[in-house]
Amino acid sequence: MLQFYYNPLSPLSRRVWIALLEKEIPFTPITVNLKEGEQFKRELLAINPFHHVPVIIDDGLRVLESLAILDYLECKYTQNSLLPKDPSQLAKVRMAQMVANNELSALVIPLISETQDSPNLKKAKRKITRILSFLAELLASNAYFGGDSLSIGDIVAGNAVILVGKLGCDLSQIEQIEQWRDRLMQRQVWQQTQPNDRQLAIFKQTVQELIQLQGKNQIISKI
Ligand SMILES: N[C@@H](CCC(=O)N[C@@H](CS)C(=O)NCC(=O)O)C(=O)O
């Protein structure tokens, strides 16, 4: 059976976790305790030399990098497809995915580390508003980025947007985004995988500790 190395508090693991559950792929979960530094153990470094989760091992194939894993799962397991065939829908799905991955994810750091009156926090929030407006434009009147059904774009962008919402960004400023977030959160898989308040507090504390240890710039790729 497919082995899934992950941590339930890791936002990038959550992308893969959701895809596995949404596609109803049987898997064995293996929790890596990042707080205890388990990712640096010899056996885990053999699986991912960059000491990151998520990683999957499927039929003897090791796949790391969350976006590569999502594409692999979609290609190998055709049920409950997460990618549209229509070119314009596919373009929208990929834009949502890439903008969330390349522009939005890094802004989680200032939301956690900056004080309320900090200019960096204000700047980050302004950029988040710009990103949310762009995502709303992509959604237009559709339920999801690829049309009527959930896609990889919704999984990657949805996780990032839900997280920035929980970290104090006002999602109600854009009605379409708030409704889309609510639509995602009505899905049983999303209710099962999103962190509760206690888990969110632990995640924030872990990020703060990493910032103190390594500095803000170094940890952006690690959350
Ligand atoms: N680009 C990788 C990044 C994975 C990543 O940074 N994972 C974090 C958790 S969300 C991690 O394992 N951090 C532990 C560490 O850096 O030691 C991906 O998308 O899979």
CATH number of the domain to which 18 belongs: 3.40.30.10
Taking only the tens place, the pLDDT of each residue in 28-65 is: 999 999 888 899 999 999 999 999 999 999 999 999 99
Ligand 1 center from residue 116 Cα (angstroms): 27
Mean pLDDT of 93-109: 96
pLDDT tens digit string along 124-141? 999 999 999 999 999 999
Among the listed residues 63, 58, 153, 157, the one whose alpha carbon sits nearest the alpha carbon of residue 105: 157
Cα dihedral value 182, 183, 187, 190, nearest 10: -50
**What pLDDT does 166 receive?**
96
Residue nearest to atom 11 of ligand 1 (CA): 52
The total of structural domains in the chain comes to 2
pLDDT tens track for 207-223: 888 788 766 555 554 45
41 lies in some domain: yes
- Does 65 contact ligand 1 (Cβ within 6 A)? yes
- Which atom of ligand 1 is closest in space to residue 65's alpha carbon? 20
The reply to whether ligand 1 has any atom less than 6 angstroms from the CB of 52 is yes
The residue among 203, 219, 209 whose CA lies nearest residue 167 is 203
Domain CATH number, residue 92:
1.20.1050.10
Domain boundary among 22, 48, 76: 76
pLDDT at 36: 85
Cα(65)–Cα(28) distance, rounded to whole angstroms? Answer: 18
Per-residue pLDDT for 112 more than 90?
yes
Inter-CA distances, 3 with 17, 61, 104, 107, Å? 11, 10, 29, 31
Q: In which domain, by residue range, is 30 found?
A: 2-76
**CB-CB neighbours of 68 under 10 Å:** 11
Contact predicate 54/12, CB 8 Å: yes
Output the CA 135–ligand 1 centroid distance in Å: 24
Q: Residues 99, 45: one domain?
A: no
Residue with CA nearest ligand 1 atom 6: 222
In one-letter notation, the amino acid at residue 35 is: K
Dump pLDDT digits (tens) for 183-207. 999 999 999 999 999 999 999 998 8
CA of 16 to the centre of ligand 1 (A): 12
